Structure 1
Amino acid sequence: MSWHKGQIVTRHSYGHDLLFRIQKTYNNQAVIFGENFRLEADAPLDDLRRVKNEERHKIEQQVRQKEATSYRMFRQDYYLRSFRDYAKPTSAKEEEVAQFQLCPKVLHIDGDALFLKKCVMLYKRLGLQVHGIHVEEAEMPLKVRELMEKVQPDILVLTGHDSYSKQKGEENDIRAYRNSKFFVEAVREARKVEPSLDQLVIFAGACQSHFESLIKAGANFASSPTRINIHALDPVYVIAKIGYTSFMEKVDLYDVINKTITREKGIGGIETRGLFRIGLPYLKGLPITNEKVKDDE
């Protein structure tokens, strides 16, 4: 049986629970990436099974339902606590002065080009300004400082693929993780540029990542507290919540994590201030005006 990059497969040894795509093959082994979750693994070729289109569509439909639920939760929250709740005019005279909104700038560095594309589309759907750059996980510590200096972000996302291997060590040993050490090193490099947890908000990690090390290194939010797989779009919902919370308020930790797909088992964080600001008066040419989350499914 011939195998090639991009084929959609499942693993027999794991009960065909998740969809993967083949990244590369070598010596009767394959490096596989989760199709919807940020998991990277090695698998024997004889453990893989090609997925028929009908089966793939059925599994992806279930995943899309979870994605739609998270989006609806965010959209509902957005309108319940809309821009009108910030700096409400207190008089008729004040109502005549048009306001503008200033959303934070996001730099999203991702080890998976396809996931990055999905995330950028969702950022834009949510009305956030983002610079998305594909960088392999091992290169992130080497490139993050240069990219930060170029983009000058308010929020930094460092994600891609990861996994924990019992054969390589205990859960508390970062050497037992495929890419956690690179995420940790990249966070440390970013904190050399901006140490403040409120001036630069960082999300870091992927499936099964070493949560404790990422938080200690300086991430505001990270994965994965219980070493489970996180959904490809989970980082975006965390960032959106931060981006639409006023800088006068703290982000509600329970609320932001509840809006992700994998929730507290997959995502955790520390108290963080919001980064959304309003200003006045509105003048043509200001960077952000009255943009709204698209009202679609």
Structure 2
Amino acid sequence: MNINLMDIVGRVSHQCDIMFRVIDIREKHGKKIAILYGEDFRLIADAPYEDLIKIDPGMRMRLTQEFRSLEEQSYKLFRQDVDLLQQKQEYEATEGYSKSYNYFQMPGKVLHIDGDPNYLKKCLTLYEKVGVPVYGFHCNEKEMPDKVGMLLDYYRPDILVITGHDAYSKSKGTMDDINAYRHSKHFVQTVREARKKVPHLDQLVIFAGACQSHFESLIHAGANFASSPARVNIHALDPVYIVAKISFTPFMERINVWDVLRNTLTGEKGLGGIETKGVLRTGMPYNKNSSD
């Protein structure tokens, strides 16, 4: 079977457990090797060309429907959380509904830097659906440390997302060795550069990491939330659920880490973080005739 760039494939040796997109095919020691990006997980992998099989349309549809069902369930739970937060804010802003103040809300602005343009597009669609103001920027993981400072100066976000693809390779070292990870060191360097600009954890909230990323190094570098504590794969959309919750939580309230993680698709094995303040601000009066 002929396999080409951008084909959707599975690995026979792994029982086709994950759908991958072929992004490169190269020669290594006289054998063809394919470089793969997870279609729904933020995972990068390489595999022998002969270990790959094209995912037929029927199987792809079944796997896709399964994931979309999980995504929809997660979205509904998240939407309930946001609605409750907004009701609480409305109650407090109107002194228990006793006064009819015209108020407005300013959710936290997000700068999302992603190593995968397809995932970035999916995430931006979800941000828009949820109502989070966001700027998206596609950038190769290796270039992120050099570009993050300029992007922070330009966009001045409340929340920074640094993600893309990653993977742990047992052949390169132990789980404690950051050099055994595909892009963890680049994410760590990017977080450090961001913290040079904004050192305070509550003035810039940072999510960093991808599948199997070195969680401890990312947190120690200055991330508020990161992946992956148990070195498992994380879903492509999980960073959105985390930062959207932060974006809609009032800045006077602290976020319980479990409240943030419970509606993600991956949960605490793939995601973790530290106690962090929300970034939503409420103001008044609201001018309905304003053109903005």
Cα deviation code 1:27-62 (max 9, x no counterpart): 100100000000001111001010100000001111
Cα deviation code 1:147-176 (max 9, x no counterpart): 111101110000000000000000000000
**One-letter code of the match for 1:194?**
V
Aligned equivalents of 2:269 and 2:121: distance in 1? 25
What is the 5 A alignment of 1:1-297? 1-27=1-27, 28-86=32-90, 87-90=92-95, 94-95=99-100, 97-283=101-287, 284-285=289-290
Query: Structure 1 residues 61-70 or 200-209, which shifts more?
Result: 61-70
Is there any run of 5+ residues in structure 1 with no aligned partner, and where?
Answer: 288-297
Cα deviation code 1:81-130 (max 9, x no counterpart): 324535332388831x3001111110000000000000000000000110
The answer as to whether partners of 2:108 and 2:279 remain within 8 angstroms in 1 is yes
Aligned equivalents of 1:114 and 1:81: distance in 2? 31
**One-letter code of the match for 1:29?**
I
> Post-superposition shift, 1:221?
0.2
Q: Hey, what does 1:291 align to over in structure 2?
A: none
> Post-superposition shift, 1:255?
1.1
CA RMSD for the aligned pairs? 1.4
Cα deviation code 1:215-250 (max 9, x no counterpart): 000000000000000000000000011011111111
The answer as to whether partners of 2:85 and 2:248 remain within 8 angstroms in 1 is no
Q: Does the C-alpha gap of structure 1 residues 7 and 91 become closer, same or farther in structure 2, counting only changes over 3 Å?
A: closer
Q: Does the C-alpha gap of structure 1 residues 104 and 2 become closer, same or farther in structure 2, counting only changes over 3 Å?
A: same
TM-score (norm 1): 0.93
The answer as to whether partners of 2:251 and 2:277 remain within 8 angstroms in 1 is yes
**One-letter code of the match for 1:276?**
L
Is there any run of 5+ residues in structure 2 with no aligned partner, and where?
Answer: none
> Post-superposition shift, 1:80?
2.3
Q: Any idea what SS the aligned residue of 2:127 has? A: helix
**One-letter code of the match for 2:94?**
P
Q: Does the C-alpha gap of structure 1 residues 275 and 146 become closer, same or farther in structure 2, counting only changes over 3 Å?
A: same
**One-letter code of the match for 2:153?**
E
Query: Structure 1 residues 277-286 or 14-23, which shifts more?
Result: 277-286
Aligned equivalents of 2:55 and 2:69: distance in 1? 20
Aligned equivalents of 1:92 and 1:155: distance in 2? 31
TM-score (norm 2): 0.95
> Post-superposition shift, 1:286?
8.0
Aligned equivalents of 1:91 and 1:69: distance in 2? 31
Query: Structure 1 residues 85-94 or 198-207, which shifts more?
Result: 85-94
Q: Any idea what SS the aligned residue of 2:21 has? A: strand
Query: Structure 1 residues 132-141 or 86-95, which shifts more?
Result: 86-95
Q: Which ranges of 4 or more aligned residues in structure 1 deviate by more than 6 Å? A: none
Aligned equivalents of 2:276 and 2:49: distance in 1? 45
**One-letter code of the match for 2:21?**
R
Identity %: 52
The answer as to whether partners of 2:3 and 2:54 remain within 8 angstroms in 1 is no
